[in-house]
Every structure is written in C-alpha cells, then in structure tokens.
Amino acid sequence: MGKRIGLEVSLSAAEAVKMANVDCIAAYPITPQTHIVEHLSELVNDGVLDAEFIPVESEHSAMSVSAGASAVGARAFTCTSSQGLALMNEIVHIVASMRLPVVMILANRSMSGPISIWNDHTDVMSIRDCGWIQVFANNGQEVFDHVLFGYRVAESHDVMLPLIINMDGFILTHVIEPIEFWEKEQVEQYLPDFKPIHTLHPDKPVTMGGVGMPSIFSEAKVAQDEPLKQSKSTIISAWKELGDIVGRYYNPIETYRSEDAETLFITQGSYGETVSLAVDELRGDGISVGLIMDRLWRPFPFDEFRKVTGQAKNLIVIDRAISYGGQGGPLAIDLRSVLYKEKNQPDIANFICGLAGRDVTIGDFKTMYHKAMKKVKEHPREEDFEYYGVRGK
C-alpha cells in the first residue's frame, strides 16, 4: 500500500506524471490547468524528473511539440483547458489519426464566451469526435491513477492512441485531497517503458503523415476507428491489473445503489460524488433511486449502459455542456441512442446544469429528481431538456 498524502490534486497529478517517467512536457499556461505544469517545471528544474520541459508559445504548439516528441519515441505529456484545447483542436485530431500515444490532462473549463475560467464540460464536448480515448475522473485519486493507466493503455501496441483524462477545473484541480501514492515498484510492475512501433530515426527512415487521396482516405479512417472501439478490452484489462496492484478497481461505468433502482442519475466527472449523497438522502425518504457514473466516454460503453439501465423506469441525465440547437446535452444524446432499440425504454429527463462553475448542491439534485418525476408524468418529447436553475426561465 502506497503512502497517503494530503496534497492539492493538481500537484498530485504532476507527481503521477513524474512517476510515469515522461520524457517531454510541452505546455502553455491556462487557468485552471496551471498548477499541474508549474509543478512539473519545478520537478524538472530541481532535477527530480529527467525530462524536457518545453514552454511553448501556444497550445497549438504544445500539441505539435508533443506530436514531434511522440513520433521520435518519447513519452509525451501535455495538459490544457477550454480555449487552449480549442486552439490546439486541429492537432488534437491529427495526433489521433497518426496513432501517437500522447496523454493529456484536460482541466475542464467553459468555452468562451462570455469568457469564464470556471468549470463545466463544454471544452471536452467540443472535441468529442477527435478520436482520442477519453475518461472522466471523480476525484483526485482517480486522476492520479489514470495518469499511469493512461500511458499503459495509450502505448499498448493493440491501441496506440492518445488519451485524455478529464478532471473538473477548480472542483478537482484546486482542492486538497488525501492521495495514495503508488510505490515505485508498483509503477514498474504496471507501466512498461514506451516501445513505439515506428519512430523517426535515420537508421530506419519512415514517412509519417502523408497525403490521403480519396482512394485511400476512408480505409485510413476506418483503420483508426476500429482500434478505438476495440481498445475497450485493453482498457478493461488495464483497470483490472491496476486494481490488482493498488486495490482500486475501475470500470467503464460505476454504479452506486443502482440495483433495483427505479430511477437512475447519470453523471460524468466530479458531480458523481455529490449526486451519491443526494441518492443517500432520497433513499432515506424511501425513494428508489441510484447513480451511474460514466467514466469511459470514448469509446462509449454501449453494452454496459444497456445492462445497467435495463430495469430502470427513469433516467435523470446530468449534462454540463450544450449541444446548441440540438436535443439536450451530449451525454443524454448518446444515451437515447443506446436505448433506441431496447425493449425497456426508460424515460429520460435531461438537465444541463453547473455551467461555468455555478454550484449545484445535493439539494439541487433532489429538486431535479422531483422535477423529473413531474416531467415523466407529462410525457415529454425526446428532445426536451431543461437548463436547471437558470434565472428568468
């Protein structure tokens, strides 16, 4: 069992990056990601971590430098938030198509405008279709564990895809939590050295990133999507081994008091813990309610969701991003697709809330439950959703 230390989650995330023995860190400062890269630069400048810290002039270059480093066989790390992610968007897509296993922490923050530094999931949802493996963390310990998990999965030869760890800005990045560090031996046991399949080296010249004419493009894209879908088995076995080593077992979706629950909350990220407390209180009132926390976002865990929602009558999907002009939040949209052909079709109430860090309390989630029950009786159309707690509505 590793040491338990009370530490800001950002600093512990940086410590996990150090334990992963990364070679290259390229990053540009943006709130609320800053504490992670600040601490990494300290570790490098103090000689604790032997890596190149490249203080780039933009996030676009952060991802481009990471691509170049990964292409020569270096283990590359970067992290960003909202506008930074938007600026690097172009390269985010290309890194996935080039099968470069970069790992990125995304300290989730709202997309401008109005400009805001606070937390929601509008940034990550803007790159939902970028081809990276994407996971959400509920707390600081999960962020720590998933850094090591991230490299383990991304660099697996049957995967070779980049991976994003979503951690809620401020709610996770700026709080102090007890974090259980891994022992060095545990890291060595779990995470082998990066052994790339192809690298840029004069002894064996390869061409990377050539032009895809129409005759070859579709095949190239399918050859990219298949391993992303198939990565789920590697992801699940990497979680299993992680559990066997450090005793914390993770799954594509996590359940809390969900068995036989008539109504299920569905969340992503740090809201899971708050909702679990709301579930306890509602259960105390004799209400049959449970919680599903979506950890794996891409590849999307279709089967797992079908299985756990099979008995439920109602789903309350909590989204923290907007699909403008669409049918609710991105998570609700995917869940409706999951359930479309199922015999049991729970009613879905979709709330978009907590935009730009607005507090959503245990009481708010309880209110959402009661609102949802009223809605169910009214039989809403599938595209109906509610911006929760918005004044003037």
Cβ at position 77, least distance to other proteins in Å: 12
Long-range (24+ apart) CB contacts under 8 A made by 342-348 are: 342/306, 342/309, 342/310, 344/309, 344/310, 344/311, 344/312, 346/264, 346/309, 346/312, 346/313, 346/314, 346/315, 347/313, 347/314, 347/315, 347/375, 347/376, 347/379, 347/380, 348/314, 348/315, 348/317, 348/382
| Residue among 73 and 380 whose Cβ is closer to other proteins | 73
DSSP state, 56? -
Task: Name the one range near other proteins by CB under 8 A: 106-114, 212-220, 351-359, 375-383.
Answer: 212-220
Cβ at position 201, least distance to other proteins in Å: 6
The C-alpha torsion from 349 through 295 and 224 to 199, rounded to 10°, is 160
| Residue among 196 and 330 whose Cβ is closer to other proteins | 196
Q: CA-to-CA distance for 314 and 380, rounded, in angstroms?
A: 12
Q: Is 210 in the site for other proteins (CB under 8 A)?
A: yes
Cβ at position 89, least distance to other proteins in Å: 11
- The structure tokens listed for 123 are 């940034």
Q: Is 197 in the site for other proteins (CB under 8 A)?
A: no
Q: Is 61 in the site for other proteins (CB under 8 A)?
A: yes
5-44 footprint of other proteins as x/- string (CB under 8 A): ------------------xx-x------------------
Residue 36 CA: distances (Å) to CA of 80, 185, 331, 339, 341: 10, 24, 28, 39, 44
| Residue among 10 and 66 whose Cβ is closer to other proteins | 66
Q: CA-to-CA distance for 41 and 25, rounded, in angstroms?
A: 9
Q: Judged by CB under 8 A, which of 2, 29, 41, 56 binds other proteins?
A: 56
**What are the residues whose beta carbons fall under 8 Å from the beta carbon of 254, sequence distance 6 or more?**
138, 272, 292, 293, 295
Q: Is 46 in the site for other proteins (CB under 8 A)?
A: no
Q: Judged by CB under 8 A, which of 67, 238, 335, 353 binds other proteins?
A: 67
| Residue among 75 and 152 whose Cβ is closer to other proteins | 75
| Residue among 44 and 376 whose Cβ is closer to other proteins | 44
Q: Judged by CB under 8 A, which of 47, 113, 202, 214 binds other proteins?
A: 202
Q: Is 208 in the site for other proteins (CB under 8 A)?
A: yes
Q: Is 201 in the site for other proteins (CB under 8 A)?
A: yes
Q: Is 83 in the site for other proteins (CB under 8 A)?
A: no
State the amino acid at position 173 in one-letter form.
Answer: T
Q: CA-to-CA distance for 11 and 177, rounded, in angstroms?
A: 11
Binding residues for other proteins restricted to 324-383, rule: CB under 8 A:
none
Q: Judged by CB under 8 A, which of 48, 115, 192, 212 binds other proteins?
A: 212
Q: Is 48 in the site for other proteins (CB under 8 A)?
A: no
Residue 79 CA: distances (Å) to CA of 17, 103, 355: 11, 8, 21
φ, ψ (nearest 5 deg) of residue 52: -90, 120
Residues forming beta bridges with residue 224, ordered by sequence position: none
| Residue among 196 and 389 whose Cβ is closer to other proteins | 196
Q: Report the interface residues with other proteins, using CB under 8 A.
A: 23-24, 26, 50-52, 54-58, 60-61, 64-74, 76, 90-91, 94, 98, 193, 200-202, 204-213, 216, 220
